[in-house]
Structure 1
Amino acid sequence: MNKEISMVLRGIITTFISFIFLSLPVYSQTASIGPTVEELIAKRNLATKTFTNSAVILSRRGDVIVDEKGFEKSHFYNAIYIADESAVKDYSKLISQFNSYYQEKQIDFARVITPEGKVIEMQADAISLVSSNSGDYFDEGKQYEFALPQLRAGSIIEYQATTQQIKPYIENEWFSSINFHFVKFLPSINWLRIDPVLETKNTLTVPKATEISIVNYNIEIEPKLTKTAKSKIYTWNTTHQPGIELEMEMPSLDDILPAIHLSTIKDWSTINQWFNTLYLPTQKSDKSITELAQTLFREGMNEHEKIKAVFDYMQKNVRYIGAHVNRGGYKPHLASEVLSQAYGDCKDQTVLIIALLKQADIAAYPALINSYPGAKFNDELPMLNFDHMITYIETKTAKYWLDTSGQTGTFPGINLNLEDKKALVVNEQSGEILTLPGTTSADNIATINIDFSVDKAVINARVALDLTGHVETNLRSFMQFSPNALAAAEQIVSPLLFSRRISDFENSDPIDITTPFTLSANFNDIAEITESIDNFRYSYDYSAILSVFTSLSNLAPVAARKFDFVILQPITVVINSFYPHPWSGSTLGYSQPAKNIQNEFFELTHQVQEKTDGMHISSTFILPKQVIKVADYTNFYQQVSELPTHSQSLFVFLKPSPSAPNPEDNNATISSKIQHAKHLLEQAQFAKALKVIEEVVAEDNNNGEAQYLLGLSLGFAGKNEQSEQAFERAEQLGYQD
């Protein structure tokens, strides 16, 4: 969705990704900015004593020189110690992505230092240059792929690359970032590894008159400043940066890894003015846009309806495809071109939305935003740190943020990763920094109706899902892109009904985002009501909610947790269940609803109604957006782990039985009362059984069988401690079942 601008970011900003990879349009020997071979071997020996990781970044260095026009020339160096075979596998292939519109790159050298200290250079023809474009996006992205020779455990990878900027992003301005870790993407498992770093050294040389603003993130460090007659040289040195073991639901890497952002831009109005030069020409008046607007905006429509009409049109008719070769990644096409081609990337779609809304006299603006989780936005440090564009709309009565780049997002299409983020709204003044709204549990609701039915002594069930907010978008997307619709439906619905196979299902069209997405499934022949049984039990385990709608069903053990646990998507799950009478004239013999659970992390509550047609239960699970600190993870883990033990309900219906003993017979003997209590227990009338057997024990406290039945009845009532006492008393009296 955001590739068009992210490719530019990888070129100008020295992000952790750009430090990973090696870019090689030319292979040439250039002086190293790194340690000598002898020094690297000494560092390897130190690393083996300091770290136990399977790889260690021995040295990571950057040398950046910025000229008076803001053009950058940089050398980046990495030396990586490969300690075992897992690291050999993970580091066996290196790739380098860069934007050839703005940059030229070369490899200065790439080699392997064997465990014995032998240096093996990579051959110049061991590099493959391919396009880095993927899916439906085409631009100047290039990618070099290569493997280093004779890599084995104990080796050191050493390489250096040089980048020369050839075109400006913003005239006479410069911005970048320094990152101290080497983040290795592992595409085979869609995962990252971040190994410890023994040392880093970064230098920045700028003209003496150039003023640089510097902001640190997740690190306290001040550069050493050296001045010459013509330049200022900033130097940052660090040692022993720890590695990061990734965890599920951890904070964003940008909230953990140390980084420094730097910029010469004094005010956000500079970026606003720069983008206006690219954006305003796209709004050239065109007959095709006017005619389309006339068909979209019917007489009597209010502003909200007009905005939604444009959104729906874009989602149905304009595909997300980026074609931006030789355009640099930031310049959108004319709105009329986007309309005629019926495709465009995020910025193309934005300019068409704005042009259409202009026909309805609705003011709309492009908004620059960084979609990466945790991406930093500092109001006091203007820089071009954006990878996505959406539309901001402000009417007399409401404000809207629209994003039509997602194929499954319903109006207004804002992805979860964009919530609560700051964006630069580009206008014809100086620009405005605004924060996108976030959603709550009340905005993301899954309503599940589970209706059991009886058909000729056979129990069937139907499960129907109605969805809103992000939960709808997620399940809609899951159904749309799953190759097997039945398997996808079962993965969603089956856990909600004892993990049974569904008999058949139906769902609304996941591609049509103008209509709510719904999914329902039938489960036939769940159980048979035979002549021999005299009671029927309905049960349900609400912990299924965790596996279907949250990531809480497989939490890491407490001892293994290192980072805060982040719940980004708040959700409400409502389960409405109906349990009909299994026989005409049957009665409810036992009712044990699941317990209400309310703690500081989530809640699960139940409302139970007995009606003439059966039992009606409405259960509500609420999980807010939150960050659970490591110190609170033990309590959180315990609350989640205990939920299944408190989330089971049981309802027992009794078959009409005219021969049942009379519980009101006050003249009954102790023996008959014991028999009556046994009968009630067999009928699952646990509360009545407890009442009868308590009367027996009150008359004869030394009756062992009565004490045993008391223990059973108390156990069914959930009074476990008293139940154990009764069983012990029965054993003391010599009773054996």
Structure 2
Amino acid sequence: MRRPIAIVTMKAILLVLITLITFSVNAQKVSTSQTPGWLVKYTPDLSKKPNIKNISDGYYLLLLEEQHNEELKSVYHHYIRHIVSEAGIQNGSEISIDYDPQYEKIVFHSLVIHRDGQVINRLPSASFKQLQKEQDLSRFIYSGIYTAYHILEDVRKNDQIEYSYSIIGDNPIFNGKVDHRLYFVAFEPILNYYKNLIVSPKRNLHFKPFNNAILPTKRTENGSIIYEWNKLDVRENEQYNYLPSWYNSYNYVQVSEYNNWNEVARWALSVNGTPTPGPLLQQRINAFRQSAAGDTSLYLLLALRFVQDDIRYMGIEIGEYSHRANQPDKVLTQRFGDCKDKALLLCSMLRNYGITANLAYVSTDNKGQIKNLLPAPNAFNHVIVQVLFRGKTYWLDGTVNFQRGSLDEFCEPDYQQALVANDTTTELTPIVIRNKGSLNILETFTLPDNQYKDGSLEVVTDYNREQADIQRAEFASASMESKDESYLRYYRKLYGEVSIKDSIKVQDTVNNHNILKINESYTLNGPWKKDSTTGKLLFTLNAQSFYDALPVVSNPNRKAPVAQRYPYDLNYKIVVNTPINWTINEAPVHISNSYYKFDYIPEKGDQQITLNYHFETLSDHIPIEFIPEYVKDFKRMNEVSSMDLTWNPFLSSTSNKHTSINWLALALAPIFIMVFSWMATVYYKHSIYPSNNTEPVQIGGGLALLAIGLVFSPLMEISQFFKLPAFSYDRWIGLYAMSENINITAIQLFLIMEMIIQALLVVGSILLAVLFFNRRDTFPITLATYYFADILFIFIDQHLNNYLFKSSTDNAINNYYILFPLIKMAIWIPYIRMSDRGKSTFVIPYNKPDYN
């Protein structure tokens, strides 16, 4: 029997190999004999020619003949390979045959090469190597399978290699009953094909075709019944990912001699009936009784966890022990066993305490599809235990490690159907999933307020029930250091330069609630990335844990079902603390059908974004007819599995909230203010008119409105002056986030010049107020010059900003800033120049005595 999941380390494999040294299985040498006399006569048409376009390995099979004599337990094989190219010499010049020397032997009948009309007999000189196969060692399974291997010498193009042999013997565990799956599919040309079953009329065989396979023709010959097939389905190799383990698209016929599931259950009882505990097992049972102190539930958990955690998994499945369990006392002594060994040990311990427990045969591959098969032992590859306790049914797997929590919190395994080994079984028993594990993930990002600062990522993951068991086993088989590195690689793949702030912290609750909590803490090194075309900063959120749970399917015309994780229940939240108020326009997504459910809800706070995901599978697969809908749903789900956050810190609404001061600009500002003030003083002494005795008019009329504007103008200019980006250190060094095509020094010079001109406007606004209230003769021309300079500055500044910072401000705003001084200029300059009051008010030269 096979274990569904095995966790492998190099140390464990070495221990297995050391263990195997103690098991000496001598493979039988290949013998030779004449062609069996029981064969049904079959005459192939050796003149057939293949379509050369269909040959991919450099050779084709001119003949494939397979005859099964169920009474003699002998299978005859006959092949003719035709080599058509140099590739065929490489690929078709070896013969390999798998067999179990415990109950099978290989007898060769012929091995010849047909070359240019000659028949070269290679059988007398053939030397077969006996190789131990053991391809399942990585899963701690030792089956004792050998490969008889022979390399042909002197093989040439256009040779025909013909060989025949018989494999004689059958696993005695099945008591001679027929249980086969015969496949009728090939991916290479086979020109002559023949397969049969030769059985006694006393046998009652049942046949079931799958995937449009053809049932055999039936005839009688020499007192035997012959079932024959001579048609093969040659097809292109299907290339699909995410295939369910139970999916089989190949043409095959199942043949079984078992009439019903009760026969199979009785066979299982005869092979693995619950034995009486020996002294060693009884001693262990008594110890658990004492520890439980009359608590049956506690006794059950003690026995289960002992079998799961203290009896290591190792399958020595040689010969009949492929299906026969070792005696519990032996398993207890060696402290290892496979699934059936563990299941029988657990059954013995529970039954001794009066708990109803039965072996339950399941298929980790076929799962619920075994209900579509004919009753037969080979429908199953795994054994667990069914426990009836306090009115409830529990399905306990002795090969699961680190299963914790109370009995009622256990999650049923997804094997879907089971054959309970007892006398009353007449059909398969459904394994209904009532308890499911869940996975809760919270990722909290804190993004910095400029490109050169670091951010942080805090991850809290709650594994519940079954998910906790899986993670607990993984952590037990790896060091914390390796886990740190593994998790770090995961986030580096998503977010670039990431470093560990604190090592992983694990909090395990194993008693009342089976919850495993993991805390991770990382530093995001410069998470903002500069977009070279726009100069904006970019950070991409990835809901990778959700995306990893989705089968990636893009072809709506796929002709195979899609496997998905089941059971699976993910609650995934991403919280992002941002440096500014963000706007998100995404709408929630809700998808629900018979196979999966998905919910996506984005939320926005002041400076926080929250993305909520929930994904739950309701079936282990998506059927073919629903795939077009899934492809559409996948596209919708994929669209919300990531989010791009782009930010131009130079134009954001909070860009004026500087967190630090640019001391260079602050030092230069008073220097220019003093220079411009000195220039204003010099200018103030300049006069247009010569000294005269004209009496100026008092300020009044429309000039009173102008006076109000000139009083508040310096205050507004000073306010604008200190909001300039040149005074922000964050803005100053953040210039490196802009386009690489712009000279950063030139941009910094622009910001300084912007500050200088604004300083000139501040001093100019104060000078205007002074000239106005002193009714100086230079006021009209100074006012006109000031308005024109203001308009010109605004126009040039806007266009340079748009060019240097790769932005485009609103045209309405641009027009407002220019239009306002234009209107003032259009009103006041003509009024002062043309009105009698304007002409009579501003006439005082610098040296004119004060008339006020």
TM-score (norm 1): 0.70
1:490 pairs with one of 488, 491, 509: 488
Q: CA shift at 1:517, angstroms? A: 5.0
How many Å separate the matches in 1 of 2:158 and 2:547? 43
1:76 aligned partner: 77
**What letter is aligned with 1:542?**
N
Determine helix, strand or coil for the equivalent of 1:332: coil
2:526 aligned partner: 527
Distance 1:358 1:635, change over 3 A: closer
1:392 aligned partner: 386
1:447 aligned partner: 441
How many Å separate the matches in 2 of 1:598 and 1:86? 54
Determine helix, strand or coil for the equivalent of 2:370: coil
Report 1:385-534 matches (<5 A). 385=378, 386-407=380-401, 419-430=414-425, 432-437=427-432, 443-452=437-446, 458-468=454-464, 485-495=483-493, 497-498=495-496, 500=498, 502=500, 505-506=503-504, 508=506, 519-527=518-526
CA deviation string 1:639-674 (max 9, x = no partner): 44982577315386835628789xxxxxxx9x9999
Determine helix, strand or coil for the equivalent of 1:310: helix
Report 1:179-190 matches (<5 A). 179-181=183-185
Q: Structure 1 residues 319-328 or 81-90, which shifts more?
A: 81-90
**What letter is aligned with 1:97?**
D
Determine helix, strand or coil for the equivalent of 1:96: strand
The answer on 1:267 being equivalent to 2:260 is: yes
Determine helix, strand or coil for the equivalent of 2:344: helix
CA contact 1:197–1:243 (8 Å) conserved in 2: no
1:715 aligned partner: none
Determine helix, strand or coil for the equivalent of 2:322: coil
Q: CA shift at 1:220, angstroms? A: 4.0
CA contact 1:501–1:523 (8 Å) conserved in 2: yes
- Number of positions where the alignment pairs a residue of Structure 1 with one of Structure 2: 640
Distance 1:505 1:346, change over 3 A: same
2:544 aligned partner: 544
**What letter is aligned with 2:266?**
Q
**What letter is aligned with 2:255?**
L
1:101 aligned partner: 102
Q: CA shift at 1:288, angstroms? A: 1.7
Gaps of 5+ in 2: 5-26, 530-534, 659-718, 724-790, 819-852
How many Å separate the matches in 1 of 2:122 and 2:291? 64
Distance 1:276 1:523, change over 3 A: same
Determine helix, strand or coil for the equivalent of 1:280: coil
Report 1:170-209 matches (<5 A). 170-171=174-175, 173-181=177-185, 194-195=187-188, 197-209=190-202
Q: CA shift at 1:319, angstroms? A: 0.4
CA contact 2:798–2:814 (8 Å) conserved in 1: no
1:722 aligned partner: none
Q: CA shift at 1:602, angstroms? A: 6.6
Task: State the structure with more CA Rg.
Answer: 2
2:600 aligned partner: 605
Q: CA shift at 1:398, angstroms? A: 2.5
Q: CA shift at 1:101, angstroms? A: 3.3
How many Å separate the matches in 1 of 2:176 and 2:248? 31
CA contact 1:443–1:468 (8 Å) conserved in 2: yes
Distance 1:239 1:139, change over 3 A: closer
CA deviation string 1:297-328 (max 9, x = no partner): 35556x3x554443332232110123455654
2:661 aligned partner: none
1:382 aligned partner: 375
Distance 1:466 1:144, change over 3 A: farther
CA contact 2:265–2:421 (8 Å) conserved in 1: yes
2:172 aligned partner: 168
**What letter is aligned with 2:446?**
F
Q: CA shift at 1:598, angstroms? A: 4.6
CA deviation string 1:123-151 (max 9, x = no partner): 65532223344534445433323334345
CA contact 1:254–1:374 (8 Å) conserved in 2: no
1:626 pairs with one of 617, 621, 627: 621
How many Å separate the matches in 1 of 2:609 and 2:85? 61
2:326 aligned partner: 333
**What letter is aligned with 1:567?**
Q
Q: CA shift at 1:682, angstroms? A: 12
Q: CA shift at 1:90, angstroms? A: 5.8
Gaps of 5+ in 1: 5-21, 183-193, 662-668, 701-737
1:238 pairs with one of 231, 235, 246: 231
The structure where helix makes up a greater share of residues is 2
How many Å separate the matches in 1 of 2:599 and 2:170? 59
CA contact 2:182–2:254 (8 Å) conserved in 1: yes
Q: Structure 1 residues 118-127 or 335-344, which shifts more?
A: 118-127
1:256 pairs with one of 249, 272, 276: 249
Q: CA shift at 1:348, angstroms? A: 0.8
Q: CA shift at 1:536, angstroms? A: 11
Q: CA shift at 1:95, angstroms? A: 3.8
Q: CA shift at 1:238, angstroms? A: 0.5
CA contact 1:197–1:242 (8 Å) conserved in 2: no
The answer on 1:314 being equivalent to 2:310 is: no
The answer on 1:2 being equivalent to 2:2 is: yes
The answer on 1:290 being equivalent to 2:285 is: yes
CA deviation string 1:516-563 (max 9, x = no partner): 555544322523899xxxx997844335346644452xx67779x664
**What letter is aligned with 1:395?**
F
Determine helix, strand or coil for the equivalent of 1:294: helix
TM-score (norm 2): 0.62
Q: CA shift at 1:254, angstroms? A: 5.5
2:575 aligned partner: 578
Q: CA shift at 1:579, angstroms? A: 3.1
**What letter is aligned with 1:357?**
L
CA contact 1:251–1:565 (8 Å) conserved in 2: yes
How many Å separate the matches in 2 of 1:137 and 1:364? 26
Determine helix, strand or coil for the equivalent of 2:243: coil
The answer on 1:657 being equivalent to 2:675 is: no
CA contact 2:274–2:344 (8 Å) conserved in 1: no
Distance 1:328 1:444, change over 3 A: same
Q: CA shift at 1:58, angstroms? A: 4.0
Q: CA shift at 1:365, angstroms? A: 0.8
Distance 1:317 1:329, change over 3 A: same
Q: CA shift at 1:198, angstroms? A: 4.2
CA contact 2:77–2:166 (8 Å) conserved in 1: yes
How many Å separate the matches in 2 of 1:451 and 1:566? 33
The answer on 1:221 being equivalent to 2:221 is: no
CA contact 1:362–1:395 (8 Å) conserved in 2: yes
Q: CA shift at 1:490, angstroms? A: 3.3
